[in-house]
Amino acid sequence: MKMRVTLLVLLGILAMNLDLPHASAQSSAAPSPPNILFVLTDDQGWWDLSMRGNEDIETPHMDQLASEGVDFTRFYAAPVCAPTRAGLMTGRYCFRTGLYNTRFGGDTLGIDEITIAEKLKQAGYRTGCFGKWHLGKYAPYQPQNRGFDEFLGHYHGHIDEYDYPDQIVHNGNPVEARRYVTDLFTDAAIEFIQSSGDQPWFCYVPFNAPHSPWVVGTSHDGQTRGDVLIDKYLNRGLPLREARIYAMIDIIDQNLGRLLKTLNQSGLAENTVVIFMTDNGGVSKHFKAGLKSGKASIYEGGVRVPLLVRWPGHFPAASRVDAQCSHVDLFPTLCQLAKVDLPTDRKLDGKSLLPLLIAGKGDSHQPYVYHTWDRHFPNPDNRWAISDQRWKLACQVASGKSATKNNWQLYDLENDPGETVNRIGKHPQIASRLRAEFLRWFSDVTSGVKYRPVPIPVGHPGQPHVEIQPSWARTQGENIAYVFRGYDWDTIEGWKNPGENAQWDLDVHHGGTYRLAIRYGRSVRGGGTMKISIGNQSTTCTPAATPTADVFTRLDLGTITLSKGPAVLKTEVVDAYGTELMRLNHISLERIGD
């Protein structure tokens, strides 16, 4: 009997040391890092889920995640998309990263920033991004240069074609695609997951829906589904605009279901953390769950977003965290899940959510959460907010106006989440405390950072052909003007007087010979001569008329020799007549030799 007991003890010791499958659950062996599926939607509100009491929308798979995982009821993003994405990728508020806008070149993540994809690669993960990037159009700012092994998606804040999308790139190369774009990105994500083998993976799926344009099913082969979905929501009494948005969210939910089904069928669900969130407040207006305002505002409807997290057997199902948390918290959370060290050479604003996730509850996390949004330059006075666990101090004035202390509003979020009653008269000391903390934070995150478009890389090995966009230009002249039409369709117009010009800062990575061309439109009622120069090299052109000024064509201007280093590209009116010289859509530079 004594010999039998000793043998059992020895076998138990061996089982623990070898980490055998039947070893006790109390074994010291740590579980392997999980796969991570991170689904992000664009402009979907906190209220655009049926689980929020929205009886008209259908989101069964989002609701399923909440029932099987953790629901964060006070989770915050930035008021608009690119700032949120910068925070997700780095764990830092966007102003620290040099990003300050959603276009005009201000939507570029600083080149020295460390992304979550880079950190996860250090931990042995395969990384993929499928959808909207919006953190840099030019190499080396593109996803495949920022830690992602695989990228299929688009660089801009939105695209114009949802069916048969024509602004899609694969690892830096433009491609042609068919299918509805949400289905397309899901297809690519599923193939990425299924081809990853035994390697842990990080699959980031930032859908561009339901961002405008609010369209679904416009292609010949997709219109039937679109019509059915829109009719479903029209029949529930929604206006057409709202029905379109709900139909887009419906399709997102269907594709989330496809992703979850893939995990189940592949036997990956038990070792995959699934994260679902949206990038800023909503744009729909039919049902708002009592929250104030929407996208681009600093009120709760503009910054409170859903966050649902599931990891079966690790995070308790149907649990709820009421602590206020921020989008910057996800970077350290994923690093902790992957068992990779955080960067130590820079300030991080995020705090890991893992303790809250494991507990499935929590009443405190971030002592303060901060918001501000002014498109052209960081501004601490006109559109800003700060909250602690109970109180929120907010100020928002119309664009072009300047705020004073009279515009400040203090809300008790614990008792008034809809921000209906301004309590500042009764609690001035709380307002003063919150304002002082906001100014301290703003000074810290903007210290030493210059907010301007990065010089456009030219001749980078990863992008030999570069299109110079109008939105990055500095314009000079009485008539000349930038016209926003949706990123790739933007123009510079009104070239009328000699000397009127536009300039771009370039960074020539490789000196040599470049092919120069412009893309323009010109009315027969106008015309003239344009001079284009880069450094001491220049050429002139007299663009021919196109069918209308809104029909664009390419005009090759020959070759130009560029030296390595910084340079200024300048386009200038030599002479013009009639309506205008032309409408400039873009300038292209393609390196063709040393």
Question: Do 143 and 166 fall into the same domain?
Answer: yes
**147 and 180 co-located in one domain:** yes
Same-domain check for residues 427 and 523: no
- Same domain, yes or no: 224 and 342: yes
At 499, which CATH number? 2.60.120.260
- Which residue, among 470, 468, 474, 524, has the nearest Cα to 493 in the 3D structure? 470
Q: What is the arithmetic mean of pLDDT over 559-581?
A: 97
Q: How far apart are CA 310 and CA 318, in angstroms?
A: 10
Task: State the catalytic residues.
Answer: 81, 134
Strand partners, 528: 576
Q: Within this chain, do residues 234 and 88 fall inside the same structural domain, yes or no?
A: yes
Say yes or no: 461 and 442 in one domain: no
By three-state DSSP, how is residue 49 classified?
coil
Q: Is the dihedral of CA 402, 406, 412, 417 positive or negative?
A: negative
Confirm whether 2 is domain-assigned.
no
pTM for this prediction:
0.93
Report the alpha-carbon distance of residue 157 to residue 235 in Å, rounded: 31
Look at the chain and report how many structural domains it folds into.
Answer: 3
Shared domain for 279 and 255, answered yes or no, is yes
pLDDT at 4: 38
Strand 126-132 and strand 201-206: pairing? parallel
Contact 260/220 with Cβ under 8 angstroms? no
431 part of a folded domain: yes
Residues 189 and 334 in one domain: yes
Shared-domain flag, residues 235 and 112:
yes
- Same domain, yes or no, for 98 and 220? yes
**Predicted local distance difference test score (pLDDT) of residue 376:** 83
CA 118/CA 129 separation, integer angstroms = 12
Q: Quick one: tokens of 510?
A: 């490789």
- Mean pLDDT estimate for the chain: 94
Is beta strand 383-387 parallel, antiparallel or unpaired with respect to 391-396? antiparallel
Residues 267-307: tens digit of each pLDDT: 999 999 999 999 999 999 999 999 999 999 999 999 999 99
The answer to whether the CB of 277 falls within 8 A of the CB of 271 is no
Torsion of CA 535, 536, 542, 548, to 10 degrees: 0
Residue after which a domain boundary falls, among 427, 446, 465: 446
pLDDT digits (tens, 9 = 90+) for 241-252: 999 999 999 999
Q: How far is CA 290 from CA 52, 327, 542, in A?
A: 10, 22, 58
Query: Which H or E run contains 537?
Result: strand 537-541
| Residue 421 belongs to domain with CATH number | 3.30.1120.10
Examine the fold and report which residue of 391, 425, 446 is the final residue of a domain before the chain moves on.
446
Residue with tokens 């340079």: 567
Using the predicted structure, report yes or no on whether residue 589 has a pLDDT greater than 80.
yes
Q: What is the pLDDT of residues 308-332, one digit of tens each?
A: 999 999 999 999 999 999 999 999 9
Given its phi and psi angles, is residue 33 left (phi above 0), alpha (psi -120 to 50 degrees) or beta? beta
Higher pLDDT, 95 or 12: 95
How many angstroms separate the CA atoms of 387 and 510, rounded? 48
Q: Which domain holds residue 497?
A: 456-593
Say whether both 422 and 393 belong to one domain.
yes
Cis peptide before 210 (omega within 30 of 0): yes
* Residue 320 lies inside a defined structural domain of this protein: no
